[in-house]
Amino acid sequence: MNKYQTNSLFVTEDVQQSKCSHIIRVAFESGADTQFDYLVPDELWPIVAGQRVETPFGRKNKLEKGFCVEVVGQGQEHKGTKKGREFKLKKVCRIIDKEPLLDAALMELAKWISGYYVCPLGQVLAAMVPGAVKKGAGVKTEKQIYIARGVEEVIGKLRGEKQKQIVEYLQRKKAFNSDSAVELQGLLAELNCTRTSVKRLAEKQVVKITQKTILKSLPAIPAGMAIRTDRVVLNQEQQKALAHFNAEIETGLFGVTLLYGVTDSGKTELYIRAIDRVLQKGRSAIVLLPEIALTTQTVQRFSARFEKIAVMHSGLTAAQRNVQWQKIRNDEADVVIGARSAVFAPLPSPGLIVVDEEHEPSYKQDTAPRYNARDVAIKRAQLSKAHCILGSATPSLEALFNSRSKKHFSLVRLPKRVMDLAFPEMRLVDLRYGFHTKEGISLISQPLAEHLKEVLAKGEQAILLLNRRGYSNFVFCPSCRYTLHCRNCDVTLTFHKSPLKGAGRMRTVTGKHMDYGFAVCHYCGAQTLVPQACPLCGAGLAMIGFGSQRLEGELARRFPQARISRVDSDSMAGRDYYHVLRDFSECRIDILAGTQMLAKGLHFPNVTLVGIISADTCLYLPDFRANERTFQLISQVAGRAGRSVKKGMVFVQTFLPDQPAIQFALKNDFDGFIQEELKHRRACNLPPFWRLAGLIMRDRNFDKLQAASDAMREKVDNVIRRDNLKVTVRGPMPAVISRIQRFHRMQIIIQAPQAETMQRLFTSLRADLWRLRPAVKVAIDIDPVNLL
Ligand code: ADP
Ligand code: ZN
Q: Rounded to whole angstroms, how far apart are CA atoms 494 and 511? A: 19
How far apart are alpha carbons 263 and 253 in whole angstroms?
29
pLDDT (0 to 100) of residue 5: 32
Segment among 101-105, 189-193, 375-379, 726-730 with least mean pLDDT: 189-193
Tens of pLDDT, residues 629-688: 888 888 887 776 655 556 788 899 887 788 888 899 888 888 899 988 898 888 888 889
CB atoms within 10 A of CB 104: 12
Of 143, 141, 140, nearest in space to 195 by CA = 143
Fill in the amino acid letter for 396. Answer: S
Taking only the tens place, the pLDDT of each residue in 301-352 is 888 889 899 988 777 888 888 989 988 998 899 999 999 999 999 998 899 9
CA distances from residue 647 to 146, 420, 426, 601, 641 in whole angstroms, order as listed: 66, 12, 11, 19, 8
Q: What is the pTM of this model?
A: 0.81
Q: In this predicted model, what pLDDT tens digit does every residue of 210-265 receive, in sequence order?
A: 877 776 665 555 544 445 555 788 999 999 999 999 999 999 999 999 999 988 88
SS (H, E, C) 347-389: CCCEEEEEEECCCCHHHECCCCCCCEHHHHHHHHHHHCCCEEE
* Residue 198 one-letter amino acid: V
Distance from Cα 525 to the centre of ligand 2, integer Å: 6
Q: How far, in Å, is the centroid of ligand 1 from the Cα of 491?
A: 43
Confidence at residue 636, expressed as pLDDT on a 0 to 100 scale: 80
If you average pLDDT over each of 134-138, 257-261, 583-587, which comes out highest? 257-261
Average pLDDT, the chain: 81
As a whole number, mean pLDDT of residues 183-207 equals: 85
Nearest CA to ligand 1 atom 6: 266
Measured in residues, the chain has a length of 788
> What span, in angstroms and rounded, lies between the C-alpha atoms of 105 and 25?
18
pLDDT at 244: 96
Looking from the CA of residue 263, the nearest atom of ligand 1 is 4
Residues within 5 Å of ion ligand 2, judged at the Cβ atom:
486, 488-489, 521, 523-524, 526
Query: Does the pLDDT at position 697 exceed 50?
Result: yes
DSSP assignment of 640-708 equals: TS--SSS--EEEEEES-TT-HHHHHHHTT-HHHHHHHHHHHHHHTT-TTTSEEEEEEEEES-HHHHHHH
- CA–CA distance, 708 with 135 (Å, rounded to integer): 38
Q: What is the pLDDT of residues 305-314, one digit of tens each?
A: 898 999 887 7
Q: Ligand 1: residues whose CB is within 6 Å?
A: 232-235, 238, 261, 263-269, 418-419, 603
The CA distance from 107 to 104, in Å, is 5
- Confidence (pLDDT) at 620: 58
Q: Is 775 exposed, middle or buried (0-12, 13-18, 19+ CB in 10 A)?
A: middle
pLDDT: is 588 or 297 the higher one? 588
- Shortest-distance Cα residue to atom 4 of ligand 1: 264
What is the per-residue pLDDT across 147-169, written as a single tens digit (0 to 9) for each? 888 777 777 777 788 888 888 88
Residue 25, pLDDT > 80, answer yes
Q: Which of 269, 360, 644 for mutating ligand 1's site (highest number of atoms within 8 Å of CB)?
A: 269
Nearest to 268 by CA among 314, 246, 300: 300
Q: Which of 244-248, 327-331, 592-596, 766-770 has the lowest mean pLDDT?
A: 766-770
Ligand 2 centroid to residue 788 C-alpha, Å:
15
Q: What atom of ligand 1 comes closest to residue 235's alpha carbon?
A: 23
Pick from 394, 390, 395: nearest CA to 355: 390
d(CA 443, CA 461): 19
Quickly state the pLDDT bin for 359 (edges 50, 70, 90).
very high
Å from CA of 424 to ligand 1 middle:
16
Query: Is the pLDDT at 198 greater than 90, yes or no?
Result: no
Question: For residues 318 and 412, which has the higher predicted lDDT (pLDDT)?
Answer: 412
Burial class (CB in 10 A: 0-12, 13-18, 19+), 731: buried
Provide the β-strand partners of residue 594. Answer: 465, 567
DSSP three-state, residue 322: helix
Among candidate residues 335, 372, 336, 379, the one with its CA nearest the CA of residue 357: 372
Dihedral (Cα; 679, 681, 683, 686), 10-degree rounding: -160
pLDDT score for 316: 80
**Residue 515, burial from CB neighbour count under 10 angstroms (0-12, 13-18, 19+):** exposed
**pLDDT value at position 135?**
85
Nearest CA to ligand 1 atom 18: 266
Residue of the CA atom closest to atom 5 of ligand 1:
266
Could you read off the pLDDT of 434-490 as tens digits, one per residue?
555 555 567 888 899 999 999 999 999 998 888 765 555 667 666 666 777 777 766
Give me the pLDDT at residue 478, please.
Answer: 65
pLDDT, position 510: 40
pLDDT digits (tens, 9 = 90+) for 61-77: 888 999 999 988 776 65
Pairing of strands 513-520, 494-496: antiparallel
